[in-house]
Amino acid sequence: MTDEPEDPTPEDPTPEDAAEPATDEPAADESPTDGDQFGFRFEPGGADAAEPVTDRRPDTRRVAVVIAALVALAVVGVGSFALTRGEDPPPATTTSTSTSTTTSTTISPAVVVATATQPSIQVSSTPPADWDTAATAVRYGPPPPPSSGDELAGAGEALPPLPRDDYPIDGRRVTPAGWVFSNPTSLGNPFVMLVTEQRGDHLQVQVPVRPNGTVGYVRADEVELRTMAQRVEVDISDRRLRFLDGDVLVAETSVVVGTDETRTPTGRFYVTDRVTQDDPDGFFGPLVFATSAYSEQLDEFDEGAPVIAFHGTSRPDLIPSAASNGCIRLPNEVITLIGDRLQLGARVDITP
């Protein structure tokens, strides 16, 4: 990773004769754009391309985490974080009547995480044939926050899906049946998904693709299940983040969120990757946690996909403000405290 420029004043991201976007927030510093490119490498196609792995195409693009800065873009560093199998999901505590005439649905407040067990996993975009006729179903998790992606889709303003045929992403690609994800991820972490429902031998799972909140379907015997008591809550309007482990409030802090032009998306997401930085005093601070969310205003930058993350910062003076490309910046001491406990698969609820 290159050092940050001595002058903290950012350059205008538009051409020299273009006006700087209006904002009431302080400008963020320029981020590094070359040097150490962290994980998710770009792999150009052609005869000299690197040999693709099982579920990666030769022209695969790396995922770039949207950094908390107005004017420059970078990607996340390589790290690893092993998961162990937890206890089976607890019995459901609440029942409700399904609209289906054949399926009895149980509502469980438990949050359940699925971890892939094979080197790659195929997730179907359509339910199995017996999904609608299953005798019983269990729906997991509390109601999610309002989704900004749904609002954009309703207004006809949603960006194209990611990944897609002309835009494969490192470790994530679209197939005729749905998607294939590599395990471990290209950042070296176990591949995890948030379980939203189970019917018979199949699971409905939230997957890290755009539109945000997209669900797919996998067989239960293709993953390991465990309950998740941890959650991260972000309030955009208050610019506050809370990390809870069960009923224990571990940390609460002011944060930097996205600008009006590059908003932090709202809805329910989850932690996909933990990335330790070589330079704890660098732009991203000591840790980066990538999430399943993507920017809903940016389609691409720096030849990478705009994945939303929360991380430390080298500019604590900008906390709290709305000065990022969608990512959430925390004080370094807080991201370190969270990093000692936060697990992959923890749900991330972001409210307007």
DSSP string of 130-182, one letter each residue? TSTT-SEEEEESSPPPPPHHHHHHHTT-PPPPBSBTTB-BTTEEEETTEEEEE
**pLDDT of res. 26:** 37
Residue where a domain stops, chosen among 195, 212, 227: 227
Whether 116 and 199 share a structural domain: yes
pTM of structure: 0.77
Alpha-carbon span 64 to 76, nearest angstrom = 6
CA dist list (Å): 169 to 43, 57, 121, 176, 211: 10, 8, 15, 16, 15
**Cis peptide leading into 163, omega within 30 of 0?**
yes
Q: What angle do CA 63, 66, 69 make, to 5 degrees?
A: 150
**pLDDT of res. 64:** 55
**pLDDT of res. 131:** 97
Whether 267 and 153 share a structural domain: no
Whether 109 and 189 share a structural domain: yes
219 in a domain, yes or no?
yes
Structure tokens at 187: 């950042």
Contact 257, 330 (CB under 8 A): no
**pLDDT of res. 140:** 97
Whether 243 and 333 share a structural domain: yes
173 C-beta neighbours (distance < 10 Å), count: 20
Domain containing 325 — which CATH number? 2.40.440.10
Q: Which domain holds residue 239?
A: 63-81+230-351
28 in a domain, yes or no?
no
DSSP-assigned beta bridge partners for residue 91: none
Residue where a domain stops, chosen among 193, 227, 261: 227
Whether 98 and 216 share a structural domain: yes
195 in a domain, yes or no?
yes
Query: Which long-range CB contacts under 8 A does 199-206 form with residues at least 24 apart?
Result: 199/103, 199/130, 199/131, 199/134, 199/136, 199/137, 199/138, 200/130, 200/134, 200/135, 200/136, 202/127, 202/128, 202/131, 203/114, 204/127, 205/114, 205/123, 206/268, 206/269, 206/270, 206/292
**pLDDT of res. 300:** 84
Our count of domains for the chain comes to 2
Whether 217 and 99 share a structural domain: yes
Residue where a domain stops, chosen among 196, 227, 258: 227
**pLDDT of res. 67:** 41
58 in a domain, yes or no?
no
39 in a domain, yes or no?
no
Whether 161 and 213 share a structural domain: yes
Whether 166 and 259 share a structural domain: no
Whether 123 and 218 share a structural domain: yes
Whether 263 and 326 share a structural domain: yes
150 in a domain, yes or no?
yes
- Please give the chain's pLDDT, 352 residues, in tens: 333 333 433 333 333 333 333 333 333 333 433 223 333 333 333 333 333 333 333 445 555 554 433 333 333 333 222 222 233 444 444 444 444 457 899 999 999 999 999 999 999 999 999 999 999 999 999 999 999 999 999 999 999 999 999 999 999 999 999 999 999 999 999 999 999 999 999 999 999 999 999 999 999 999 999 999 999 999 999 999 999 999 999 999 999 999 999 999 999 999 999 999 999 999 999 999 999 999 999 998 667 889 999 999 999 999 999 999 999 999 999 999 999 899 999 999 999 9
**pLDDT of res. 63:** 54
214 in a domain, yes or no?
yes
